Amino acid sequence: MLLTRAIEAFAAHLSTVRRLSPATVRAYRNDLRDLQATIGDLELRDVDLEHLREWLWQATKRGDERSTLARRTSSARAFFRWAHEEELVPADPSLRLVAPKRGRTLPHVAAAEALGGVLDRLGRAAAEGDPVALRDHALLELLYGAGIRVSELCGLDVDDLDLDRATARVLGKGSRERVVPFGAPAQRALDAYLIRGRPALAARGAGAGPAVFLGVRGGRMGPRAVYDLVTREVGPVVGSSAVGPHTLRHSAATHLLDGGADLRAVQELLGHASLGTTQIYTHVSSERLAAAYRLAHPRA
């Protein structure tokens, strides 16, 4: 089997068997197509370790980031592991492929007090009754209060919310469903939006359906609109324009750990498959503690 055909077969496996998101499947496919563009459309069984090393070397020479090289190494390993399990290759050539160490980049986190000020300001604007202001307040309260992903937020339907129990049922990565709690501020903001804001937005168009969060034309709100809202409202308090919905997720996780939450409880809330993914937030908290120490201790 030629490499191009094998890549498409692998992409189909990721989509239909492992049920990964379209964006994740696209990332794997793009990485492997880069491999094929570098070494040529060889027979899959003819690809060896030296081909893979040459591929990474060429990427290094053109200035690809270490994080990109590490991701591509991971994509190659997953691809050839699958090919070996499917008996498409006699041996896995990626077993000895060494991934470059990733540089650790800590996520942007908003200070709890500053974020509280943003949400309080949006709450005062929502009290005037404008449907968009009601939506924006409820949306940001839920993103921060539940720590959910933007895709999970945009996919929410009205029946997924249980305001009495203050929980939301979301569909995460790998089509894994979980129920997440949120606090009283989000509960109140959602109640006000669903009663006074959403009906007014739904009346502006015929495509609202069951979506919780609607755009100004009445259709389901998309990730780009959410990203723009978070950048506009939260960016100034973080001090960077490079923020988005994940900033509120990062902030929620960090503030939970700062407040004494158990790491595994935070893992469950965020829907991480691996505890190692959640542990980045322990580093964030440690960095903040170290920064406070350096500023305040006379012997720092």
Three-class secondary structure of residue 259 per DSSP: coil
Tell how far CA 259 is from the center of its chain.
23
| Count of CA atoms in the C-beta half-sphere (13 A) of 2 | 8
Out of 13, 53, 77, 173, pick the active-site residue: 173
**246 labelled catalytic:** yes
Is 102 noted as a catalytic residue in this protein?
no
Q: Is 149 a catalytic residue?
A: yes
Question: Which of these is catalytic: 72, 149, 198, 220?
Answer: 149
- Angle ∠(151,155,160) on CA atoms, nearest 5: 130
Q: List C-alpha distances in Å: 191 to 94, 113, 198, 263.
A: 53, 24, 10, 30
Give me the catalytic one of 272, 293, 297, 299. 272
How far apart CA 267 and CA 273 sit, in angstroms, is 8
Catalytic residue among 29, 249, 250, 255: 249
Q: Strand 161-162 and strand 167-171: pairing?
A: antiparallel
* Residue 249 is among the residues annotated as catalytic for this protein: yes
**DSSP characters over 163-212:** TTTTEEEEE-GGG-EEEEE--HHHHHHHHHIIIIIHHHHHTT-S--TTBS
Q: Would you call 178 helix, strand, or coil by DSSP?
A: strand
> 């305001």: which residue's tokens?
163
Q: Residue 218: left (phi > 0), alpha (psi -120 to 50), or beta?
A: left
Among the listed residues 71, 178, 196, 246, the single catalytic one is 246
* Given 28, 144, 193, 281, the catalytic residue: 281
Structure tokens at 15: 């989509």
Active site residue 272: yes
Catalytic residues: 149, 173, 246, 249, 272, 281
